[in-house]
Amino acid sequence: MEISGAHVLVVGATGGLGSALARALAADGARLSLSGRDATRLSALADELTASVLSSVSADLVDPSAPARIVDAAVAASPLDVVVFAAGVVAFGAVAELDDDTLDQLLLVNVIAPVRLLRAVAPQLGRGAVVVNLSAVVAETPLPGMAAYAASKAALTAFDRAAGRELRRAGVRVLDVRPPHTETGLASRPVAGISPRLGAGKSPDEVAARIVQALRDDEADLPSDAF
Ligand SMILES: NC(=O)c1ccc[n+]([C@@H]2O[C@H](COP(=O)([O-])OP(=O)(O)OC[C@H]3O[C@@H](n4cnc5c(N)ncnc54)[C@H](OP(=O)(O)O)[C@@H]3O)[C@@H](O)[C@H]2O)c1
Q: Which pLDDT value is given to residue 15?
A: 98
DSSP reduced 3-state for 84: strand
pLDDT, one tens digit per residue, over 120-178 is 999 999 999 999 999 999 999 999 999 999 999 999 999 999 999 999 999 999 999 99
Residue 87 Cβ inside 6 Å of ligand 1? The answer reads yes
Q: Regarding beta strands 173-177 and 7-11, do their DSSP bridges make them parallel or antiparallel, or are they unpaired? A: unpaired
Query: What gap in Å lies between CA 80 and CA 204, rounded to an integer?
Result: 24
Find the 86 Cα to ligand 1 centroid distance in Å: 6
How large is the greatest C-alpha to C-alpha distance in the chain, in angstroms?
49
Q: Where are the domains of the chain?
A: 7-226
Could you tell me the strand order of the sheet in which 7-11 lies? 53-58, 31-36, 7-11, 82-85, 130-134, 173-177
Do 7 and 79 contact (CB within 8 A), yes or no?
yes
Find the 202 Cα to ligand 1 centroid distance in Å: 15
Instruction: For the chain, give the percent of residues with pLDDT over 70.
Output: 100
Give the pLDDT mean for 71-99: 98
Active-site choice (21, 33, 73, 149): 149
Find the 186 Cα to ligand 1 centroid distance in Å: 7
Q: What is the mean pLDDT of the chain?
A: 98
Fold of 7-226: Rossmann fold (3.40.50)
Give the pLDDT mean for 33-49: 98
Do 176 and 84 contact (CB within 8 A), yes or no?
no
Task: Give me the count of residues in the chain.
Answer: 227
Strands annotated E in 4-81: 7-11, 31-36, 53-58
Give the pLDDT mean for 72-90: 98
pLDDT, one tens digit per residue, over 10-29 is 999 999 999 999 999 999 99
Residue 67 Cβ inside 6 Å of ligand 1? The answer reads no
Q: One-letter amino acid identity for 216? A: R
Torsions phi, psi for 34 (to 5 deg): -120, 145
Nearest C-alpha to atom 7 of ligand 1 is from which residue? 136
Give the pLDDT mean for 208-223: 97
Query: What gap in Å lies between CA 129 and CA 1, rounded to an integer?
Result: 9
pLDDT confidence tier of residue 216, bands split at 50, 70 and 90 = very high
Determine whether 69 is an active site residue: no
